[in-house]
Chains A and B, each alone.
Chain A
Amino acid sequence: MSISHDFRLSRRAVLAGSAGLAGAAMLPRMAFAEDQPPIGTWPAGSSGDTVNIGVAVPRTGTYAEQGEDELKGWELAVEHINNGDDLMKQFVPGLTKGLLGKQVALQVADSAAKPNDAVQAEQRFISENKVVLMTGSTSSAVAVALNHFADQQKVLYLAGISGSNDTTGKDCVRYGFRQNFFGQTAAAALGPVLVKAFGKGRKAAFMTPDYTYGHTVTKSMNDYLTQNGGWTQVTDQVSPLGTQDFSQYLTNIANSGAEFIINVNWGRDAVLSTQQAKQFGLLPQMNLVIPYQIPFLAKDVGADITEGVYAATDFWWTQEDQYPLAKMFVESFLKKYGYRPEWGAENSYVSFAHWARVVTEAGTFYPPDVIKTWEKGETMPSLLGDVHYRPEDHQCIRPVVIVKGKKASDMKNPEDFWEVLEVVPGEGLMQAPDAFGCKLGSYT
């Protein structure tokens, strides 16, 4: 039943896209763009047979494992754009091979999740490869830095994994877009589930990484739980990114009277803090909550720790049973890489697919035209049904998936860690567009 429903949607998307393409061909936009003075890497970056995309992704350090997963998502998307894959055609109606007649190539550098490294790498890609698009981030600190860099350079930037409210909030820019869920939407989706499952007036200890992602996610989560559930934050253990020994933080939590550990740490920090919480006997005595799910966490710490754990996420592979595009993606990814994709790869793939769609519809790589086309906010497919971007802050309005850790004995295969409880529609989760101080800059 759901398959025919989604097929109808995707067909509608195809029709809408075709209409857009036809419109693009008729309007004098191309000629208009070509009359413009050069901006950013345009037109140099798109004058040859190939357009380059600069990727600054962590391949070392705390977020390396998640960075590699993201990178695979981008690689698969580029391959699908270049060979006109059927899945990519669902996003980009009329796609043949390549984008606007050009092959797409990735230039990849290791950011180590450090903003300076990421900006330097992208600077190099702009100078040497004239990249038409930048992406990368598994840390919102990098996303925020690249946002501002993109705006200065007038080169488009698509956030990779970035959970901070600031990325499309106070640090939003005209040249930056984000597909994935974030602190506010995670809290608004997961909060009601927690209050319903555990009741009001509970005590929670937060574990927060000390940068924009950690602080905004903790604030959103805590605001929701205190205001709507009467929960109390008994302690907030703030640790630097890359912490290895969490003993002093866990000792504080052990003495705090907390019933819940809301662990906002991410990447290896999340793995280590969670493993050590178990070593200290805090788990399973306290309930673990993961507001911003970490790819591979369950695999790394084991199902005995994640059993019964509530988490919010962008995508979980078992959703292939409900969503045909998700099924195509999971099968494609599994075939190429030998494992089922985590949400980092999903975000990478979908955000590139959205970019390819918008560029095709704009009929040009000229950044202001691409941005204006994106800002029309038209409905487009995702792996979880139709989504759209808000013109005011460039945030994709997309569902948030609530999952709960499965018992090891209930897992149907070694990657079947999470059970999808709910897919919460994005519209009701969003803050007002200006609530986090977003002011987009100029187009040129």
Chain B
Amino acid sequence: MVNWANFLSQLFNGLVQGALLALISSGLTIIYGTLGVLNLAHGAMFMLGGYAGWVAYTYTGSFIVAAIVGTLFVMVVGVLMERGIIRYFYNRPPEDQILVTFGLGIVFVEAVRFFFGSQSESIPPPPGLVGITHLGFMVYPTYRLALFGIVVVALLVLYVVLYRTRIGMIVRAGIEDSTMVDLLGINVQRIFMLVFGIGAAAAGFAGIVNTPVVSIAPDVGEPILVQTFVVVVIGGVGSFPGAIIGGLIAGEIISITSMFNPGYAYVMLFVAMTLVLMFRPYGLLGTAGRE
């Protein structure tokens, strides 16, 4: 359906999809940027957020409580994971880090499957956000519109934390040169723990607010992990603004390609990643040598 009405609709839809990808990817990228650990359990974090929120919703019937519980739970899991396991891998080769986070991801998925089964679960959108909204050029699910707003606010909060607070300054300094930060007498270990918690919480929050859109199942994080990797590579590894730009680009590529032929949507996403790797190996906003 190639026409202007559809183009506008897909452009808008890509923006909404991209914003969510940006939020999840920002968590992945700040962890990698600061700690140098590629967290392959990030998709599982997204899934855990959804399940923790779903459990909270089942008991309270409140979407807001679900969002808070989902986010905090995953933040705690992130902190425990960093203190209990990941910190012993900072000085190990990258392949060890990849294996341990990949393994943890499997453990989380199978644990959820053990306790909750393989069936999908869902949470209805909060009252007031049910139904459709007429945008003039298209009708759009009201909750998805709200989701866009929620994600933008979450990204702003992350931005403020990273760019307008002392902790954020230390984190960003850590991304550039963690040894120097350590030498300046700052407790880098505590910062690392915090960053891992914040990064995981970003995924967890995305997981719970996305649940009314697509529902959750134990394996819901797998495709998300792949997409966030692409986003991080396009945007630049370790770059927070890069994750946002990358997320929006990925969302638009998927949506606009779908207008011509949906079968090629994900192919084009990987083509874009390949092109970026060929011509800007450090990503659009990444810098050489950042690890």
Main secondary structure of the interface of B (DSSP, over half): helix
Cα–Cα distance between A281 and B138 once the two chains are bound (Å):
10
Query: Distance in Å from the Cβ of A124 to the closest Cβ of chain B?
Result: 20
Known: A64-B119, A235-B1, A281-B132. A252 touches B6 (CB 8 A): yes
Q: How far is the CA of A247 from the CA of B219 in the complex (A)?
A: 20
* Interchain CB contact under 8 A, A251 and B138: yes
Residues in A with CB closer than 8 Å to B1 are 235, 252, 255-256
Q: How many chain A residues touch the partner (CB < 8 A)?
A: 32
Contact B255 A254 (CB under 8 A): no
Q: Is B165 an interface residue (CB 8 A)?
A: no
Counting contact residues on chain B (CB < 8 A from A), the size range is 35 or more
| Cα A256 to Cα B259 with chains together (Å) | 11
Q: Tell me the smallest distance from the CB of A44 to a CB of chain B, in Å.
A: 34
Choose one: A60, A249, A252, A255; the contact of B118 (CB below 8 Å): A60
Q: Is A252 a contact partner of B259 (Cβ separation < 8 A)? A: yes
A248-B262 in contact (CB<8A): yes
Chain B neighbourhood of A247, CB < 8 A: 13, 16-17, 144, 255
Give which listed residue, A61, A249, A254, A300, contacts B139 with CB less than 8 A: A254
- Find out whether the CB atom of B143 lies under 8 angstroms from the CB atom of A242: no
A105 to B6, CA, bound (A): 55
A65 within 8 A of B: yes
A64: which B residues are within 8 A, CB to CB? 118-119, 217
Q: Which residues of A contact B265 (CB under 8 A)?
A: 248
**Is B258 a contact of A279 with CB atoms below 8 Å?**
no
Q: Inside 8 A of A244's CB, which chain B residues have their CB?
A: 214, 220, 223
Give the one of B3, B5, B218, B262 with max A CB within 10 A: B262
Interface: B270 (CB within 8 A)? no
A103 CA / B255 CA spacing, docked (Å): 55
A272 contacts across to B, CB distance below 8 A? 120, 214-215
Residue of A60, A249, A255, A276 touching B262 (CB-CB under 8 A): A249
- CB atoms of A245 and B17 under 8 A apart: yes
Quick one: which of B16, B118, B266 contacts A240, CB cutoff 8 A? B266
Query: Does B141 lie at the interface of the complex (its beta carbon under 8 Å from any beta carbon of A)?
Result: yes
Closest A residue to B265 by CB, please name it.
Answer: A248
Residues of B near A281 (CB, < 8 A) are 132, 139, 141
Q: Tell me if B9 and A254 are in contact (CB < 8 A).
A: yes
Interface 0/1 of A255-295, CB less than 8 Å to B: 11000000000001001100110011100000000000000
Closest chain-A Cβ to B67's Cβ sits at a distance in Å of 19
User: With the chains together, A245 CA to B119 CA distance in Å?
Assistant: 17
Closest chain B residue to A240 by CB distance? B266
- Residue pair B13, A248 in contact (C-beta under 8 Å): yes
A237 CB contacts on chain B under 8 angstroms: 262
Residue contact A61 to B219, C-beta cutoff 8 Å: yes
A160 and B215 alpha carbons, distance in the complex (Å): 27
- Chain A residues with CB under 8 Å of B220's CB are 244
Report the minimum CB–CB distance from A305 to chain B (whole Å): 14
A59 to B219, CA, bound (A): 12
Indicate if A304 sits at the interface (CB-CB under 8 A). Answer: no
- Indicate if the CB atoms of A255 and B9 lie closer than 8 Å: yes
Q: How far is it, in angstroms, between the C-alpha of A252 and the C-alpha of B258 when the chains are bound? A: 8
Report chain A residues within 8 Å CB of B213: 245, 276, 279
| B15 shortest CB reach to chain A, Å | 11
B105 to chain A, nearest CB (A): 14
Contact A245 B6 (CB under 8 A): no
Of B14, B132, B217, B263, which contacts A210 at CB under 8 A?
B263
Query: Which residues of chain B come closer than 8 Å to A245, judged between CB atoms?
Result: 17, 213-214
Q: Are A249 and B258 in contact (CB under 8 A)?
A: yes
Report the bound CA distance from A244 to B266 in whole Å.
Answer: 13
B126 to A: closest C-beta gap in Å: 14
B224 to chain A, nearest CB (A): 8
A65 to B218, CA, bound (A): 13
Segment 248-271 of B: residues with Cβ below 8 Å from A: 254-255, 258-259, 262-263, 265-266
In the complex, besides A235-B1, A238-B262, A240-B266, 8 extra interface pairs with C-beta distance below 8 angstroms are A61-B219, A64-B119, A247-B255, A252-B262, A255-B1, A272-B120, A281-B139, A300-B120
Show the binding face of A for B, using Cβ within 8 Å: 59-61, 64-65, 68, 210, 235, 237-240, 242, 244-245, 247-249, 251-252, 254-256, 268, 271-272, 275-276, 279-281, 300
Offer 30 A-B interface pairs, CB within 8 angstroms, sorted by A: A60-B219, A64-B119, A64-B217, A65-B118, A65-B119, A65-B120, A238-B262, A239-B262, A244-B214, A245-B214, A247-B13, A247-B16, A248-B254, A248-B258, A248-B259, A249-B258, A251-B258, A252-B262, A255-B3, A255-B138, A268-B120, A271-B215, A272-B120, A272-B214, A272-B215, A276-B141, A279-B132, A279-B141, A280-B141, A300-B120
Enumerate the 7 nearest inter-chain pairs by beta-carbon distance, A residue then B residue, closest first.
A248-B258, A64-B118, A255-B6, A279-B141, A281-B132, A244-B214, A238-B263
